[in-house]
Each structure stands twice: as C-alpha cells, then as structure tokens.
Amino acid sequence: MANQQFVIDAFEGEDVGCILELFAACYGGDRDKVPSRAEWEWRYRGGLYGSTVWTATHGERLAAQRPAVVKAVKIGQQQYPAAHFMDVMTHPAFRYQGLFTRLVRLATERVMERGAAICYSFPNEESFPGYLKKTDWVSLDILSLFVKPLRLEPLLRTRVDKRWMREALSSALQPAVALASRVGAMRPAAPGPIWRLAAFDERFDALWERASSDYEVILRRDSHHLNWRYCQRPSVEYAVYAVGSPDVRGYVVLRTRRMFGMKLGMIVELMVADRDEGVARVLVDHGVQHLLECGAEAVACVVPDRPPFGSALRRQGFLRVPRALLPRRFHFLVRVRSAEQHFSSALDPQEWYLSWGDNDAV
C-alpha cells in the first residue's frame, strides 16, 4: 500500500469514537491501555492544556495517530511550552508503512513552529526503537526503579512456576527481605503535621516556586497542574499527603495498580523544598504505610537516582533494581529546538527532575 494513499492531518472531529476504536484495535481488551471517553477527554481536552491529534486516514478508516499536548517546562529561570508526545499507535492492518515516522516528524515540526522549546515522550518498548532509528530525538537515561518488597511470594511469580516452591522460598527468604527493606524499622520524625488533601491550593504554588529553583529543567508543578493531574482525572484515584504548616515542605502522591503480576503500591510523585532528605524520608515512610493499608504487595517509585530522592528511598528500605533485572525500561526521549542554544541543558540527564507522574499513563 503506497504512502500517498494516506491523508495526514490534524483531527478536527468532535466524536472521538474512531480514535477509541483505534485504541481497542491496537490493545484489545487491556483496560489499562484503552481509555474511557472521559479519560480521553481529560487527557486531551481537559481545559488546562492545548493539544493536537495528528492522524493518518486511509479512505474512511483511521490508520494511525500521533497526539501532542503542549504543557510547560522550566529551563533555567524561565518557563517555555513543552510538547508531550503520547499514545502513538498504528492500526495492525496499516503497520510497516512508515506512518510512525511520518507522524512523529510532522508533529515535531508543527509544535516547534508554534513555539515549543522542547518535545518529550515516555515511549514503550515497541515505539522506542522507532524514535532512535528514524528520528533525531535523543534518549536520556534518567529514571531508576526503586522497590520495597513487602511480601516476597508475588515477586517470585514471574520466576518460579510451582506454587509450593514459591511459598517455601518466600518463607525462607522473608526475614532477610524484611531486614534489607527495613520493614518495621523506626519511623523518621516528621517536621510538622502530615495531612491528606483533596485539592492543591496556593500554598503549593509557593512550594513550586521554591522547589523548582533546585532544578535546571523541571516540568510544571504548580497548583493548577497538580489539580488537573491528580484531582481531576476521572479513571484513577490518587492519595495525596503533604507535610508542614503553615508552609508546605513537601508532598507525596500514591496509587495502587495491578502491575508486574501483583498489586503494586506506587509512589507516583515525590516533591520537597530545598532538597530536604529528611522531609523526603517522612513522606516516603507515610506513603508506604498508606499503601500497606491498601493491600500493596510491594511499593515502587520511579525517580532519578540523585539526592534527596534516591538516598531517601534507600534509607527507607527501597532497593534500586539493577538494569539487567528491570521488568521493563523507563525510556525518556527529548527533541530540543536546535536554534536556541540555552535549551541545551534539556539534553543533559543530570539537569532534569522527573517523576513517574510526568507520564500521564501512570
């Protein structure tokens, strides 16, 4: 099928049924990957950010899509538009015809023409090679997976088939796991009250101004963004705890999800002012206790392995998973507007702060 048979343009329709059908064709019945209509509307028409969904059609059929949501990134002391590339997919009937490359190149060119300083994406294992081989995007190895095992048997499911053997190994190794992950260890003292919140207010704008100065490159985290991201999403309920009063010293965002064959507790976001490791440890500890009460079999956090986050997680009994044992890689790619030299810091992984929550799929 020749490329000229495809029409590539921005999606202008009001009815997104054809896009949801494309999700279903690509992912089948995987409810984690096929959004509801409300989830799609939140992601792309939520009111906080502008977006464009570029599509390729063949006759009346939707063959592929490449959406981009224009958010904001702080580079140095200034904020700039940043295009988050999400949910790239090609219908199984139209794969291997160059649509991935054409859509990525078109979307990159268009959003940068409209003022985006950088484009960024968290691709899965299937789309990651396409970025590297067929585009000029750059892979930054930033994110590390930290895990605190609470029960050993679920972690053995992917390695040991026989249930009796898993249970025997779990019983034998659980004391060592508890010691290594500091289960039951003395809890760190909080520097102020810890409270659960239903919405982010202006105190978190002050925290954003204070904490963002610690990082050269960081995606927007003011109260407007945090409310959209964690309080208004229709399909996921997050638990958010903050510490400090009257000034907020930091916050942690939590959820549970079936992942890696278990009920996984997830530290989705962890932010503190002044790179305060003590505050980070308190929030991690409180988050683990909450997730334990929710029935989590292990707790995971994906962050850069740098102070205060990597060190706080280790001191609270988290183990960094070696690259060879990762259940999956956490890829992060960027494309910087080359004409602007002061954006080059966005190509340095040591200058970034990222969290799991920067990927809207989590």
| DSSP SS3 for 25 | helix
DSSP string, 46-91: SSSSEEEEEEEEETTEEEEEEEEEEEEEEETTEEEEEEEE---EE-
Average pLDDT over residues 36-62: 92
Evaluate if residue 48 carries a pLDDT over 50. yes
Assess whether pLDDT exceeds 60 at residue 176: no
356, HSE (Cβ side, Cα atoms, 13 Å): 20
Residues 6+ apart with CB under 8 A from 174: 151, 152
Q: Output the pLDDT for position 1.
A: 41
| 195 close to 201: Cβ distance less than 8 angstroms | no
DSSP 3-state assignment of 275? helix
For the stretch 1-28, pLDDT in tens is 444 589 999 998 888 999 999 999 999 8
b/e 324-358 (16+ beta carbons within 10 angstroms → b): eeeeeebbbbbbbbeeeeebeebeebebbbbbbbb
Q: What is the predicted pLDDT for the residue at 30?
A: 75
Whole-number pLDDT of residue 164:
58
pLDDT over threshold 90, residue 81: yes
Least confident of 83-87, 159-163, 309-313: 159-163
pLDDT confidence bin for 189, thresholds 50/70/90: confident
- For residue 234, what are its two tokens? 């229709």
Distance, CA of 7 to CA of 135 (rounded, Å): 21
CB neighbour class for 305 (10 Å; exposed up to 12, middle 13-18, buried from 19) = middle
Q: What is the pLDDT of residues 195-233, one digit of tens each?
A: 999 999 999 999 999 999 999 999 999 999 999 999 999
**Six-digit token pair at 215?**
């990082």
Which residue has 């706080």 as its token pair?
A: 312
Domains, the chain:
3-139 (3.40.630.30), 143-328 (3.40.630.30)
The H or E element containing residue 7 is: strand 7-10
| pLDDT confidence bin for 142, thresholds 50/70/90 | confident
Segment 90-113 shows an average pLDDT of: 94
Environment class of 295 (CB within 10 Å of its CB; exposed 0-12, middle 13-18, buried 19+)? exposed
Beta strands in 76-150 (DSSP E): 78-85, 89-90, 118-121, 138-139, 143-149
Residue 162: pLDDT over 50 = yes
How far from chain centre, in Å, is Cα 319? 20
Strand residues in 273-318 grouped as ranges (E):
298-304
Tens of pLDDT, residue by residue over 249-291, are 999 999 999 887 789 999 999 999 999 999 999 999 999 999 9
